[in-house]
């Protein structure tokens, strides 16, 4: 029997699952660093299920980085991929590569109410696009658009690499500190797991504290325990995320709602709910009214990227069956 496989490959982890009857099955998470190539990781995944590589027919991978052309280099890990060689190696009938945040955005179409937490109240504007944004190994940003054929389209980009916006004198001072270290300060340089550590070091340097913490997990735990420096790190992180999110809502008109995804925020979800995120999201001067009432949810679903890769694969196969000559 020929199988369909979906993957969600980020900078750190590669998640794989079988896609069967519109559902993900047999999910496994592998460390990208443990494999020299995605082909080897997929071979290991199939072997762990007692399956041979030639049992695959269709494959969709959500990949960290801009997806175009014959050759693809993953962002934030060492993997590369040549479409033709990859397809031949796995004997695939169909290979679909999409940006990992395209997959993440499509995953929002399958959320249950129990898999999201309301952060900002409001009513989603019917027919309007939605924003999907999330700090993880990097900062992903995508726009989800409904169409008139009961399908979904995604505008993917590299929004995590926009310039970090400044909204206060304190932020300006920290930006100068960061600029001295990095030269060019992107949103992702702060709004990511490693960004928490970078922001902590910058605050310590600016205020002449001796750093005591070295990992995002330590910083989050210390902040929740009341450490004032770590608490400012989380507070500014949430404020900056609100500022970047608000800029994206204004740019793309995403009044269909905002989905906060990724592995960072759920570690301090209660703190995030009462943080300055909501105020900084709406603090846009004469356009502040535009953002009030835009609903924001924190997504707690376990595998939205895999679900979205399945949606993308299913839409592609349905389109091919409807237009077999294409």
Query: Which residues does the annotation place in the binding site for ATP?
Result: 7-12
> What gap in Å lies between CA 127 and CA 145, rounded to an integer?
8
Residues placed in the known binding site = 7-12
185 by Cβ neighbours in 10 Å (0-12 / 13-18 / 19+) ranks as buried
| 291: Cα within 13 Å, side-chain hemisphere | 27
CB within 8 A of 281, min separation 6: which ones? 120, 242, 243, 245, 246, 249, 291, 296
- Degrees, nearest 5: CA angle 131-64-257: 10
What the block records as the tokens of 171 is 């932020």
CA end-to-end span of the chain: 25
HEC readout, 157-211: CCHHHCECCCCCHHHHHHHHHHHHHHCCCEHHHCCCHHHHHHHHHHHHHHHCCCC
What the block records as the tokens of 176 is 């100068």
**CB-CB neighbours of 218 under 10 Å:** 16
CA nearest 247: which of 298, 273, 275, 281? 281
In the block, residue with structure tokens 């460390």: 31
CB within 8 A of 110, min separation 6: which ones? 304, 307, 308, 311
SS3 for 30? Answer: strand
Please give the order of strands across the beta sheet that includes 94-99.
23-31, 13-20, 3-9, 56-63, 94-99
> What gap in Å lies between CA 316 and CA 107, rounded to an integer?
15
């Amino acid at each position: 029997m020929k199988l369909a496989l979906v993957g969600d490959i980020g900078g750190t982890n590669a998640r794989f699952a079988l896609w069967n009857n519109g559902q993900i099955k047999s999910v496994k998470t592998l460390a990208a660093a443990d494999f020299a190539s995605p082909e080897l990781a997929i071979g290991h995944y199939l072997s762990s299920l007692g399956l041979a590589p030639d049992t695959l027919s269709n494959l969709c991978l959500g990949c960290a980085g801009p997806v175009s052309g014959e050759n693809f280099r993953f962002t934030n890990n060492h993997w590369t991929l040549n479409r033709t060689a990859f397809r031949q190696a796995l004997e695939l009938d169909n290979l679909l590569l999409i940006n990992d945040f395209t997959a993440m955005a499509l995953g929002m179409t399958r959320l249950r109410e129990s898999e999201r937490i309301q952060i900002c109240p409001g009513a989603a504007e019917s027919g309007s696009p939605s924003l999907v944004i999330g700090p993880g190994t990097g900062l992903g940003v995508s726009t989800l658009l409904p169409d008139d054929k009961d399908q979904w389209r995604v505008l993917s980009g590299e929004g995590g690499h926009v310039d970090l916006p400044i909204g206060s004198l304190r932020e300006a001072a920290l930006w100068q500190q960061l600029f001295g270290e990095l030269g060019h300060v992107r949103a992702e340089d702060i709004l990511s797991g490693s960004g928490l550590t970078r922001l902590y070091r910058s605050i310590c340097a600016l205020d002449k504290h001796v750093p005591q913490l070295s990992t995002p997990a330590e910083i989050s735990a210390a902040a929740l325990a009341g450490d004032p420096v770590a608490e400012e790190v989380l507070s500014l992180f949430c404020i900056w995320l609100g500022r970047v999110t608000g800029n994206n809502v204004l740019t793309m008109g995403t009044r269909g709602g905002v989905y906060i995804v990724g592995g960072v925020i759920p570690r301090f979800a209660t703190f995030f709910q009462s943080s300055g995120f909501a105020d900084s999201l709406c603090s846009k001067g004469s356009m502040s009214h535009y953002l009030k009432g835009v609903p924001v949810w924190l997504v707690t679903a376990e595998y939205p990227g895999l679900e979205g890769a399945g949606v993308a694969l299913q839409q592609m196969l349905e389109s091919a069956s409807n237009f077999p000559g294409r």
